[in-house]
């Protein structure tokens, strides 16, 4: 698994998946306590919006939303949330789905977190009916400059519906941190939270590891 993703990243000169994206500064504000230990209040975050397969221009793709929550509240390191366009039902929440617009996508964790003995999924949805379309990175950048998009982060369990727990605002485009972070939801998470199931989580970590090695072996693109 690691070798496959290393060679794919090396061939692309970028991440194995979500190879091209744009960086944004943002603010994450907790709305109510949830099953996952999101930080209280409002925190600055680093956000990367991306296209999963790297489809050029405005073509539909599995759109991605990655959020780095900085260390704090007792966490020894950052917490990376890596969400991809998916469904919202019991089965479709675990299936990546292409979207034609940034505001039309439902950005889910795909696999759940295990916290306090429960399986918990995350889902981010743009507020209102604004489609922020088409699925072009340049369209997204213009929209952020004109009117910062607001996304609402929800939690969902196997038996309950989705419940809003936080909101995320993209405030400005940025060139990203230097050095740019490698988003890794497997390694960068609170100690009391794990990705489930464990076997799949181990495979996913090997995929992230291989992708990092492949990127580091070439000159990575700026975004």
- The DSSP secondary-structure symbol of 13 reads T
- How many Å apart are CA 12 and CA 9, to the nearest integer? 5
What pTM did the predictor assign?
A: 0.85
Distance of CA 115 to the CA centre of its chain: 19
Give residues with Cβ within 8 angstroms of 207, minimum separation 6.
Answer: 1, 2, 4, 5, 16
Q: Would you call 11 exposed, middle or buried from its count of C-beta atoms within 10 A (0-12, 13-18, 19+)? A: exposed
**What are the tens digits of pLDDT across the range 16-69?**
466 789 999 999 999 999 999 999 999 999 999 999 888 899 999 999 999 999
Per-residue pLDDT band for 222 (boundaries 50, 70, 90) equals very low
More confident residue, 173 or 160: 173
**What are the tens digits of pLDDT across the range 62-112?**
999 999 999 877 677 899 999 999 999 988 998 999 999 999 999 999 989
Please say whether the beta carbons of 106 and 87 come within 8 A.
Answer: yes
């Amino acid at each position: 698994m690691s070798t496959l993703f290393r060679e794919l990243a090396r061939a692309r000169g970028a991440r194995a998946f979500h190879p091209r994206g744009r960086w944004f500064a943002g603010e994450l504000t907790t709305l109510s306590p949830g099953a996952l230990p999101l930080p209280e209040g409002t925190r600055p975050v680093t956000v990367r919006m991306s296209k999963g397969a790297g489809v050029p221009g405005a073509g539909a793709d599995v759109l991605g939303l990655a959020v780095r929550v900085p260390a704090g509240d007792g966490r020894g390191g950052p917490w990376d949330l890596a969400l991809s366009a998916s469904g919202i039902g019991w089965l479709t929440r675990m299936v990546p789905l292409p979207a034609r617009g940034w505001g039309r996508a439902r950005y889910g964790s795909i696999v759940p977190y295990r916290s306090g003995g429960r399986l918990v999924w995350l889902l981010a949805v743009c507020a209102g009916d604004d489609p922020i379309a088409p699925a072009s990175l340049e369209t997204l950048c213009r929209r952020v400059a004109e009117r910062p998009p607001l996304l609402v982060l929800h939690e969902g369990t196997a038996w309950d519906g989705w419940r809003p727990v936080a909101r995320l605002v993209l405030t400005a485009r940025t060139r990203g941190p230097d050095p740019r972070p490698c988003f890794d939801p497997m390694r960068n998470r609170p100690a009391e939270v794990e990705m489930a199931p464990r076997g799949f989580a181990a495979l996913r970590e090997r995929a992230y590891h291989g992708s990092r090695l492949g990127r580091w072996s070439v000159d990575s693109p700026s975004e």
